[in-house]
Structure 1
Amino acid sequence: MEYTKNIKSILLFLSLFSTAFQGFAQSYKPVNKPKLDELVSTKIAMDRSGDFKDRFTIQLFYGERDKAIDIKQKYDALDLPWKSELKWESPYHKIWVGTYRSRLEADRALLKIKEDYKDAFILKP
């Protein structure tokens, strides 16, 4: 008699427990498609603009301002797909090119850039 009472109690507990979880499993919240699209486009724009600091870049030059400006203009005239930036870190100016997610991506760009700039190298700022 005691044995059947325990089994009934266990079965009752399991049925209540499974009903409660089934109620949680049935909840559904639809995805806000416009908001999702906005977030994805923001992430892509941030990737392109280099807002993430854990990216690789290529340094073309480190030195005086006039020489840096000259090298930047010559690089920009090559019309390569990677954007160049003139940075200033006391006491010198630097020319950085591109923002790359992986070392492999940076290495591929460096091969092309080294055709014109032999001293270029990859750095992770």
Structure 2
Amino acid sequence: MRFLALKKSTILAVSAFFYSGVVCAQQAEINISKDPKIDKLLTYQKEINQETDNNKRFKIQIFNGNLKNAQRSKSRFESKYSDISVTIKFETPNYKVWVGDFRTSLEADRYLLEVKETFPNAFIFSPLKKKK
């Protein structure tokens, strides 16, 4: 009895060995084609977002004062929060340090909570854009 079981398993192993060279996986080539109008729609959407959203963006002001302290505040902010943009704007007679470009006030509020730990006088505002 044992001899028959050994013979079957040996035949099975040998046949599997020989057929493994014949068997191969499926090979296919994938071609992705898209309508050229999709690119046109994407550029159109970007233009619309830039025109309408820029007037509705929110920023956080972390400093208002002279240039030396504004640069110091900017570098201090960049060292602690490297994930968001910081700019210094001059509005007579002071320099202002503005942070971020948030789409919603909720997003700005969430970030303000973090920023207030380091800059307690920080606040949210929406800058007025000059129309062309």
TM over 0.5: yes
- TM superposition shift of 1:103: 1.3
Task: Find 1:36's aligned residue among 35, 41, 46.
Answer: 41
Q: 1:77: which partner in 2?
A: 79
Offset at residue 42 of structure 1 (A): 5.1
Deviation at 1:38, TM superposition (A): 2.5
Count of residues paired in the alignment: 92
Q: What residue number does 1:52 align with?
A: 54
Q: Could you say which residue in structure 2 is the equivalent of 1:99?
A: 101
1:11-22 equivalences under 5 Å are none
- Cα RMSD of the aligned pairs, angstroms, is 2.4
Give me the whole-angstrom Cα distance separating, in 1, the residues matched to 2:55 and 2:39: 28
Task: Pick the structure with greater CA Rg.
Answer: 2
- Counting aligned pairs with the same residue, the percent is 35
Distance 1:95 1:119 in 2: 12
Question: Structure 2-normalised TM-score?
Answer: 0.61
Provide Cα deviations, 1:75-124, integer angstroms capped at 9, x if missing partner: 11113422111000011000000111221111001001111111111112
Q: Distance in 1 between matches of 2:104 and 2:38?
A: 30
Match of 1:117 among 116, 119, 123: 119
Return 5+ residue gaps in structure 2 as ranges.
1-34, 128-132
- What CA distance in whole angstroms lies between the structure 2 residues aligned with 1:33 and 1:81? 31
Indicate whether 1:87 and 2:89 are aligned: yes
Gaps of 5+ in 1: 1-29
Distance 1:38 1:53 in 2: 19
- SS of structure 1 residue aligned to 2:56: coil
TM-score w.r.t. length of structure 1: 0.64
Deviations 1:22-58 (A, max 9, x none): xxxxxxxx981221122345566x49xxx71221110
